[in-house]
Structure 1
Amino acid sequence: MSSPSAAQKLLGLIRIIVPKVPLIVSTTLVHYALGPPKKSWPYKLSITIALLRSFLAQINHVPIKDSQAMSRRVTDEDAPVNAGAVSFMSSVPGQYRDKAAAHLHMLFERQGIDDTKLGWDWRNDPRLTSEPLEGEWTWVRGVDEKELSKKKTVLYLHGGGYFLASIRTHRWATWGMANLADAKALVGYFAAIDYRLAPDSPFPAALQDALAAYLYLLHPPAESGQAAVDPKNLVIMGDSAGGGLTFATMLAIRDAGLPIPAGVIGWSPWLDLLHSMPSVLTNAPSDYLPAEGFTQGGQGSLTKVAKLAASMKPGENVLHHPDLPEIQHYATNAVLGCPYVSPVVVNSLEGTCSMLVIAGDGELLRDEAIVFAIRGAAAKKKEGDHTEVQLLVYDDMPHVFPMFDFLVSARHALQESADFIRRVTPSQESKASPMTRATSERFLRVSTEGETRPLEKEAVQGWQERLGKLGGGPQVLAQLK
């Protein structure tokens, strides 16, 4: 099939833009007449958020297969590899998925999770054989390929609610980090859309693929030509659902007794699939994520959950209600309280690695990021533990704002991420000094001009009672009634 001509591309662009003209006009009028949702927002951000919100609202009203088809249509031509980068594709042999499955099966047995609770026979997913796990390596042009194994490696897990997006939609992130951190980045993906996606392959498919990619990096087969990566030189990172998957993978690695990576980074990580935090209710005006969540395909909206929660007695958990519809595409209600699905509910973060959590103060997922970082810092009190726990909350910023490179906050977050990678993965040429207790824990707010100030650790009051695992989720959701 021949590639589209310039005229065809222009026609396609017109078809996209024309229906959005009323939205663009109304957003422009509101921005200049009444002001944007956040006073600091430039006009470009107001328009961008309005268009994203409109697009995601449309996704909620079309079959999920159609939404996924839109993701697949993003081609190399639409999202080319940066001219300053080198990249190549590499498949992860199926044996690594098998190894990951063995580890996860053991972890699930410990928690009493079986296929009935998971809702499917995940170890016999036909996509395990029909769609191999592949990855795209990216590094800065001019770096000697033979020297790459000595450098920092980033395993990037893309976002998209566990049912959308691909490696191509997130090349802005892999290239940006490869460039800033002098790292090579492996984005694990299958076919054209990364790790297996829900609803065809729900939890634990994405976790299995992420863990398989990690095992491959540590112990690649001899015939691959890849050098083994020292976990001390490896960082896992992701955005949104990919950020949640990043922390879930970290927990699985720790619990399975595998070598821990040097660090993990989450940009606006989705850590609480129970939707039990206050910002889910309060920050809708300043974010583009659907306030009701992604509810197409017969999934239960937050309003439906809230109505059931309001009818329950104190102390009862709405997740046990017999009339509760399934809430998420990614996981059944029975396992939403599992830490490998909702990392924020994990009992302990002891024995994990350095963490950088970045969130926007205006996004729906803000509070779960704050709570998770606070819990991470509380776990790292042992003498001699110099791992970092860093939390940066950016004033007025929406979900995954690092992708908006026209913002000072976005560039600041990218640079902070690169600096974190350098600190936790010291190169052979430049050994970093151990972190002290005073410098290994930072909880900061960042202004829209990049200036920092302390973040109060009680920024989310009473979070213990709000965790859905403890019955707090229904109490918060009931405010929607």
Structure 2
Amino acid sequence: MALSSFSIGVALTPTVVSTLFSHYLHRKNRQGKPTVHLSYDEGISIIREFITFSSKRPIEYIQEFTAQRVPAPHWVKIERVAIADEFLDPAAAAITKQLGPDGIARVGGEKWWQWRGPAGDKNGDLKAEWIEMHSDYNERKHEGKNHSSNKRIMLYIHGGAYYFGSVQTHRYQLQRHARKLKGRVFARYGKAIVQADYRLAPQFPFPCSLHDSLAAYLYLLRDHRPEDIIFAGDSAGGGMILSMLVICRDQGLPLPAGAILISPWVDLTHSFPSIVKENPGDYIPDHGFLHRPSLAWPPPNEDEIREIKEAVKRNPTIPNERVNVSESGQENTAVISSSQAPKGHGRPPPSCVINGDTIEVKDQIHMYATNDLLFHPLVSPIFQPSLGGLPPLQVISGGGEMLRDEQFYVAHKAANPVAYPPNDTFLDEFDPQREIVSRYPGTYVQLQVWDDLCHVAPILSFTPPVKFMFRSIAQFGAWALARAQRSTVEIVNDDEVSHVSSSESEATQPTVSRSGHKDPHDLPTPTVGKAGDPLPPFKDRMIRQGVNKRGHVYHLEPPSKCPVLQIPPESVGTINPNLLMKWMLAKEEWDHKFAKDKVRVHHERLEGLAHGFQEFEGETPPPSALAARRLAPGALPPKGLRVSYPMAMWSKFASKHDRRTIQREHDLETRSQRSRRTSVEAGRAGASMEEDQELKDKTQPNGTSEKASSSTPQLPAIPPEKPFTPLIVLPNYDGKSSNDEYENASTRALFHVPGTIPPTTADSKSMHHRSASHGGSATIRSGLTSNPADDASTLDDDRSLAVTGMGVEAASTRAVLHADGVIRPTNESYSVFSSRDSLPLTNGANHD
């Protein structure tokens, strides 16, 4: 039975009902975990059951299901575009050069992976979508290219283990990213292999999807500067982003402003300990992904290919010749023997020693690449000689997911490449001179480990813990753009209108354990990712944070106390024998359960191969590649795309939070005429970055060079014939001296202005040593400072409140507005949201 709406409803309904009862029956056991929320508990149970249900169907079924259309809400603007060959060709050239002759030989050639479908079939074109809020689109249409959303582009690469998923499955996530960032999200249009324009494995294995992703980035560079673009991706998409960044770095392509990696999959060999531990908080099967046999998956192993080819050679005129293959021979997934690797695909098959026997795996393990290529750095970025020299990264990891160890490791490897090099075997192959490993400085990384969350938690965007994660992503994205553009970036501050903010009032209360002690993770630290909050300063090129389910941050243990960071390089890349045994046992059970299907598929392959392998002049595509059997009957899947009602219902439910937040925001602005925007700048995190990582001149696609400083905003020039007279004297507020606790950075900023009487020596010394505020920021500069870095108003700390959309005036603000020579804004709406250039400033000589 196909994955229809009816069959999925029948399969998932018992799970929904049973989870509802078990949730309330065992709720005490869920305290302190994300599953204490019913929405999270139901969501993860549904995903887990759906994966189990879909594994009993052929792989084409889940590809077709996840490619079905999901209507966008009316408040979201969708624009579809096609990416021409002028971007595909240079992307292919960059990948070919990065692979080198040896890599091309291991991949099987340089032409087959550029094949997109039959000639003249427009469905083979690479398509993509622009996703943005309708309100932002209307503003951009009115203002033209100067609109701020044109400087906030997110290129999103979706996940799905490289073989399923699309923009349709991620639509509700992408529209929230666009809303939070007040920008535009650009994603490759996902129709999976139903219309062959989004090339998924196993029919289009490595490096097909990498080729498409890099071409999408080159397409963006035609009309946008690299500092206006950030990358984002989840799971397989996060791993692919790292490979894209390395290619851009090594091939001289412009690097984006930053990248956000959500639960990135960076080690396809699964060599880290967390993969074999008990992970009840995750939905990924402990044995990996398996599916009912079909023409697409699993592909024939080398023994079966050799047997089929010999049969065709013996009698090529009889396509229906049956090869006598015993069912027991078909069921075996591993044999204890030694064999030569297939031509053009490198090293011998992976093997391990179990109970004294050497087990050699000949069947392909992952859909994305052959077993040999699992060790390639562009497939598993964990094996890159160096991940230094990249733009700032945010690595988000779930504390309850199976892949958490490799994500933790790769974040530290990027920040300190020399401390975490690959083993000598990889260096001998990919960096024999040991130049790359020490060539680049470390990358600045913000690592966040979210307590007990599952793999790619944003898939559960309607749950309270994940709503904080979206805030953190918007925070980092705005910071990376502001730093790259050397300016401030305004984004949405929905703290007052967001349901998660008002419903999580208990977040300010620390959790008390059964022993009566407060959980140190629940101490009242600032909530993470509130739009506009400044990033803390980097230490050793890292911001290392743990985040609990209430969105409170805490410091992670130092690297010296993290067991995963003590793993020797020789162990990274060694397939875990326990995991391999789990996979083989599950594969054997699957082959026994679907033995008839496997024999039938074998005979169908024999009939198809009677048409011959369509090889590309000396190239050998992987066995699963559609390019090798493109003329065989039934090789190309049927066309057609219909609406997926289950996914549409899921997306509508997930979008409910955004719809309600937008409505509350609109109502609040209508009543109070206050803006819900806040500004983000590089701040202390940018100041803590060393000069060797500062942005350099970037070459634009048209060959011109543009200075990064050209985008730096300049303070308005003051005409020389209008000097600052009379002097601006800051009055004491409520009889307090200038060194009082109510004086903050906003007040001190005015002392640098020409014409302002400085404080006394004692006051100056007091202010100079006062620590900066650690609260969140919703900065609106006064327009008076001579140094923008000195103007650092803060929001939500107990010492000062800047001028915000909430209309709150703190002591420092009132001191400025009540000072001689400063004209107060004329109305409420003007005072609430003003840029630094628009605040009125006059002097006594010109004041009427």
- The within-5 A match list for 1:314-353 is 322-353=360-391
What is the correspondence of 1:48-197 to structure 2 with a 5 Å cutoff? 48-73=43-68, 75=69, 79-109=70-100, 112-118=102-108, 122-127=112-117, 130=121, 131-140=124-133, 141=135, 142-145=138-141, 146=144, 147-148=146-147, 150-189=150-189, 191=191, 195-197=198-200
Contact 1:268 1:400 in 2 (8 A): yes
Q: CA deviation at 1:415?
A: 1.0
8 Å contact kept, 1:87–1:137: yes
Summarize the alignment of residues 435-474 of structure 1 with structure 2, pairs less than 5 Å apart. Answer: 437-438=538-539, 441-456=542-557, 457=559, 458-461=561-564, 464-465=567-568, 470-474=572-576
Taking the aligned partners of 1:172 and 1:186, their CA distance within structure 2 comes to 14
- Choose from 441, 459, 475 the match for 1:419: 475
Compared with structure 1, are the counterparts of its residues 392 and 192 closer, same or farther at alpha carbon in structure 2 (3 Å cutoff)? same
Match for residue 257 of structure 2? 262
Shift of 1:119: 8.2
Query: How many Å apart are 1:137 and its aligned residue?
Result: 0.7
Mapping 1:193-272, distance limit 5 Å: 195-219=198-222, 228-272=223-267
For the residues of structure 1 that align with 2:370 and 2:556, how far apart are their CA atoms? Answer: 35
SS in 1 for 2:212: helix
Partner of 1:430: 488
Asked if 1:370 is matched to 2:386, the reply is no
Aligned-pair Cα RMSD in Å:
3.5
Q: Hey, what's the Cα distance between the residues in 1 that align with 2:538 and 2:27?
A: 43
Residue 408 (structure 1) shift:
2.9
Q: Is the 8 Å Cα contact of residues 100 and 208 (structure 1) preserved in structure 2?
A: yes
Residues in 1 aligned to 2:203 and 2:416: alpha-carbon distance in whole angstroms: 38
Q: Is the 8 Å Cα contact of residues 386 and 435 (structure 1) preserved in structure 2?
A: no
CA distance in 2, matches of 1:101, 1:128: 19
1:279 aligned partner? 274
Residue matched to 1:294: 289
Q: Is the 8 A contact 2:388 2:441 kept in 1?
A: no
2:760 matched residue in structure 1:
none
TM-score (norm 2): 0.49
Show the counterpart of 1:358. Answer: 396
- In structure 2, the residue corresponding to 1:143 is in which secondary structure? helix
Structure 1 residues 386 and 333: CA distance shift in structure 2, 3 A? closer
Give the superposition deviation at 1:120.
8.8
Deviation at 1:322, TM superposition (A): 4.9
Between the aligned partners of 2:91 and 2:401, the Cα distance in structure 1 is 33
Preserved CA contact (<8 Å) 2:274 2:405? yes
Q: CA, structure 1 residues 36+96, in 2 after alignment: closer, same or farther (shift >3 Å)?
A: farther
Deviates more, 1:114-123 or 1:441-450: 114-123
Deviation of 1:216 after TM superposition, in Å, equals: 1.2
Number of aligned residue pairs: give it: 449
Pairwise CA distance, 1:202: 0.6
8 Å contact 2:271–2:573 — kept in the other structure?
no
Residues 405/462 of structure 1: CA separation in 2 closer, same or farther (3 Å cut): closer
Q: Secondary structure at 2:280's aligned position in 1? A: helix
Distance 1:371 1:475 in 2: 21
CA deviation after TM superposition for structure 1 residue 201, in Å: 0.6
Q: Does the 8 Å CA contact 1:387/1:435 hold for their aligned counterparts?
A: no
* Matched position secondary structure for 2:576: helix
**Is the partner of 1:293 in helix, strand or coil?**
coil
- In 1, the alpha carbon distance for the partners of 2:367 and 2:28 equals 32
Which stretch has the larger CA shift, 174-183 or 31-40?
Answer: 31-40
Cα distance change, pair 463–256 in 1 and its aligned pair in 2 (3 A): farther
Q: Cα–Cα, structure 1 residues 234 and 14, in superposed 2: closer, same or farther, change >3 Å?
A: same
Structure 2 contact 173–461 (Cα < 8 Å) conserved:
no
Taking the aligned partners of 2:18 and 2:467, their CA distance within structure 1 comes to: 29
SS in 2 for 1:425: helix
Give the Å deviation of 1:124: 4.5
Q: 1:191 to 1:115 in 2, by over 3 A?
A: farther
Q: Deviation string for 1:36-64 (max 9, x for gaps)?
A: 98542122222221211111112222111
Deviations 1:65-119 (A, max 9, x none): 111111122x1xxx33233332211111022111111111111116x21245458
Equivalent residues of 2:397, 2:455 under 8 A apart? yes
Q: Distance in 2 between matches of 1:386 and 1:322?
A: 38
| Distance apart, 1:410 and its partner CA | 0.9
User: What's the offset of the Cα at 1:342?
Assistant: 0.9
The 1-side partners of 2:562 and 2:362 are apart by 31
Q: Which moved more, 1:209-218 or 1:141-150?
A: 141-150
**1:295 touches 1:327 (CA, 8 Å); kept in 2?**
no
Matched, 1:311 2:344: no
CA drift at 1:413: 1.2
How many Å separate the matches in 1 of 2:54 and 2:566? 31
2:11 maps to what in 1?
A: 19
Moved more, 62-71 or 439-448: 439-448
Contact 1:137–1:185 under 8 Å retained in 2: yes
SS in 2 for 1:90: strand
SS state at 1:217 partner: helix
**SS of equivalent residue, structure 2 residue 18:** helix
Match of 1:4 in 2: none
Change (3 A) 1:120 1:257: closer
Shift of 1:386: 9.4
Distance 1:70 1:37 in 2: 35
Q: Partner amino acid for 1:477? A: L
Shift of 1:122: 3.0
Q: Which one-letter code corresponds to 2:353 in the other structure?
A: A
- Structure 1 equivalent of residue 579 of structure 2: 477
Per-residue deviation, 1:434: 11
Task: Answer with 150-159 or 280-289: which moved more.
Answer: 280-289
Q: Give the distance between the partners of 2:406 and 2:118, measured in 1 at CA.
A: 32
Per the TM alignment, residue 411 of structure 1 is displaced from its structure 2 partner at its CA by 1.3
Partner of 1:359, secondary structure, is strand
